[in-house]
Amino acid sequence: MTLTAPPAAPPSQARRPPSRRRAGPLRVLLHAFLALVALGWLLPLALAVYASLRPYDETARLGYLSLPENLTLDYYAQAWTQAELPRYYLNTLIIVVPGVVVTLLLASFTAFAIARLRIPGRKTLLIVFTAGNLLPPQVLITPLYTLYTMIPLPAWLSDSQSLYDSYLGLILIHVAFQFGFCVFVLANFMRTIPEEISEAALVDGAGVWKRYWRLTLPLCRPALAALSTLQFTWMYNDFLWALVLMSSGDKLPVTSALNNLRGQFFTDYNLLAAGSVLVALPTLIVFQLLHKQFVAGLTLGSTKG
Amino acid sequence: MATKTRRYSARDVTVLVIGLGVAVIVNVGLIWGPTLASVGLSGTDWGGIGPIEWIGGRNYHDLAAEYPPFWSAVRNNVVWLGFLGLVATPFGLFCAVLLDRRLRLSRVYQSALYLPVVLSLAVVGFIAQLVYSSDYGVLNAVTGLSVDWLGDSSINIWVVMVAAAWRHVGYVMIIYLAGLKAVDPALKEAAAIDGANERQAFFLVVFPTLRPINVIVLVITVIEALRAFDIVYAINKGRNGLELLSVLVTENIVGEASRIGFGSAIAVILLVISLGFIVTYLSQLFREER
């Protein structure tokens, strides 16, 4: 295709008439379509919220698609106490907070070494780390499980006395698995920071640690904010690692605790709906508050900053 | 070596060795080590305890010849990939193209499409039950049918894929939207001057420049299709028509079965497929960098 750059004035003139013409019915159609899709996308979630607000005997009688006779928040109270959600939220925090912090620390230092220092084999390291993040977890789960049962831990750190069924074990696998993605994003980000800043510090005789901690890390704040939002959500939502590497019910993270609301013979789905909403709430709040960071995190990773 | 010692003091070297050492140990010890061990174990009949006996390729033979769930899982994974790749991904791209213009409420539409991405798949699995359940589900109530959407093994995979697509579309949409925003507007303008209509401008001018994004989205789609696990597990533990390779691996090692060698063989098949795409992805990424 031979496209020569046209002078600045004509294109805007040439373009204006068609876009004016389309402003009418096509715009309306576009909005109608997008609104319809958006509504369709929200509907399932709205349904869960609606179901959670209605008593079981009512929905059993009328079905979920009916006008409400009673609306109640009772199920939320019940889910909160019966499923002991506060304890499971705490479990999740015990796993996710150190998980995110350690991942970012380790990843940012590694990214710094790869992007800023001319260490030998830096490209290989980056490739190996990034590839590790893309593996399906099932590929490594069997030996990992065996390894975890074989590594002893002192009783004060884990009452199972092994890495298996311990918080530390779950934190470690989150760190290891998410590490690659963070290194990749941060290394790309650090390359966009002007080299001169580091060079000037080098002349001043700053050591590696100081260049990392005092000079580079503060400049990475946007990337770190984006990554911590993303990592919080991913670790919070994890289901598989806890399923395989945990056995005591009382140590499970909150996503797995949902099953406590299922009875052995009978399940009250309205109660389960309330539980689901409560479990989904933290990520939804994070998403609403930090929408920009969240999207930035994903697109930083996929389009190389 | 000489330049290195000149530039880095002993303390610098210590910091680097510790920092990178921890990173490498964690990564190799918990990710690549176990991955290689999976490959090794897939040639044994280990059951978790007792001696490990080498049996060569027998697990792979048994898998293909005497384990019916394997082929239904392969079929389901392929169908899953096809559905995400041919339906969900293009729809995500379509939404991104529509949203990539100055629109009122664009943020609202984006948020709605993107919302399911932040939900735990365990929650998505439960919502799927609310919608699809045969006796109380909304779908049957609306359509007046009495289909057991999740229990009928010939259709349940399709409706579960719709739930998975619910998440996938938003993910793809966000990535394409970022890609589209980076396209030089002058390109589109030039195409318009040359008399191209909007569709021509997109397919002939804009789409080709999205090549790196396309590769990334393709890989994300494949990886997501191979990783699919939580949603079927939350619905019925991945049985009765919802078998997936990832479920079979987990099934064979967790619980009473403990057929570690056999489970590893399934894992290795997953590994080989995903490595193919990972290599494609990385070579694309690192070639771009040059």
Q: Locate the domains of chain A by residue range.
A: 78-295
**Model confidence pLDDT, tens digit, residues B151-181:** 888 888 999 999 999 989 998 998 898 888 8
CA-based nearest residue in chain B for residue A64: B138
Q: Which of A116-120, A179-183, A193-197, B160-164 has the lowest mean pLDDT?
A: A193-197
* CA B66 – CA A106 distance, rounded (Å): 45
> For residue B193, is pLDDT > 70?
yes
* Residues of B in Cβ contact (< 8 Å) with A107: 23
Query: Minimal Cα–Cα distance from A179 to chain B, Å?
Result: 8
Chain B residue with CA closest to A107: the answer is: B23
Q: Is the pLDDT of residue A81 over 60?
A: yes
pLDDT at position A241 over 50: yes
Cβ-Cβ pairs closer than 8 A, A with B, add up to 306
Partners of residue B180 in chain A, C-beta under 8 Å: none
Per the DSSP assignment, residues forming a β-bridge with A162 are A152
3 state SS for chain B:
CHHHHHHCCHHHHHHHHHHHHHHHHHHHHHHHHHHHHHHHHCCECCCCCCCCCECCCHHHHHHHHHCHHHHHHHHHHHHHHHHHHHHHHHHHHHHHHHHCCCCCCHHHHHHHHHHHHHCCHHHHHHHHHHHHCCCCCHHHHHHCCCCCCCCCCCCHHHHHHHHHHHHHHHHHHHHHHHHHHCCCHHHHHHHHHCCCCHHHHHHHHHHHHCHHHHHHHHHHHHHHHHHCCHHHHHHHCCCCCCCCHHHHHHHHHCCCCCCHHHHHHHHHHHHHHHHHHHHHHHHHHHHHHC
CA distance A294 to chain B (A): 10
Residues of chain B positioned with their CB less than 8 A from the CB of A10: 193
The reply to whether A26 touches chain B by the CB within 8 Å rule is: no
Interface of A with B in 190-249 (CB under 8 A): 207-209, 233, 236-237, 239-240, 243-244
Which residues of chain B neighbour A45 with C-beta distances below 8 Å?
115-116, 119, 127
For residue range A26-56, what is the model confidence (pLDDT) as tens digits? 888 999 999 999 999 999 999 889 988 988 8
Sequence ranges of the domains in chain B:
2-41, 70-289
Domain at A78-295: CATH code: 1.10.3720.10
B190 to A207: CB separation less than 8 angstroms, yes or no: no
**Which of B12, B23, B113 is facing A41, going by the closest CB pair?**
B113
Q: What is the pLDDT of residue B289?
A: 57
Of B120, B216, B282, the CB nearest to A302: B216
Q: What are B222's two structure tokens?
A: 């494949």
Mutation target vs B (from A42, A105, A124, A135; most B CBs, 10 A cutoff): A135
Q: Which residue of A has its CA nearest to B107?
A: A291
Q: What confidence tens digit (pLDDT) does each residue in B93-106 have?
A: 999 999 988 888 88
Q: At residue B59, does pLDDT exceed 50? A: yes
Whether A36 has its CB under 8 Å from any CB of chain B: the answer is no
Using an 8 Å CB-CB cutoff, list chain A residues near B254: 145, 243-244
Burial zone of A154 (CB within 10 Å; 0-12 exposed, 13-18 middle, 19+ buried): exposed
User: Which of A65, A119, A237 faces B120 most closely, judged by CB atoms?
Assistant: A237
A119 alpha carbon, distance to own chain's centre: 31
Q: What is the mean pLDDT of residues A162-186?
A: 92
Nearest CA distance, A140 vs chain B (angstrom): 5
Confidence at residue B257, expressed as pLDDT on a 0 to 100 scale: 65
pLDDT at residue A1 above 80?
Answer: no
- Determine, for residues B130 and A273 on separate chains, whether the beta-carbon distance falls below 8 Å: yes
Yes or no, beta carbons of A64 and B141 under 8 Å apart: yes
From B259, which residue of chain A is nearest by alpha-carbon distance? A142
In the structure encoding, which two tokens stand for residue A1, read together? 């295709």
Q: pTM for the full model? A: 0.85
pLDDT value of position B101: 83
Question: pLDDT confidence of A264, banded at 50, 70, 90?
Answer: low
Report chain B's mean pLDDT, rounded to a whole number. 85
CATH annotation of B70-289: 1.10.3720.10
Chain-chain contact of A65 with B281 (C-beta, under 8 angstroms): no
The 10s digit of each residue's pLDDT in A102-141 is 999 999 999 999 998 878 888 889 989 989 988 989 888 8
Residue A297: its pLDDT value, please?
A: 75
Q: Does A266 contact B at CB distance below 8 Å?
A: no
Nearest-by-Cβ selection for B113 from A37, A239, A279? A37
Q: Which of A10-19, A134-143, A163-172 has the lowest mean pLDDT?
A: A10-19
DSSP designation for A129: H
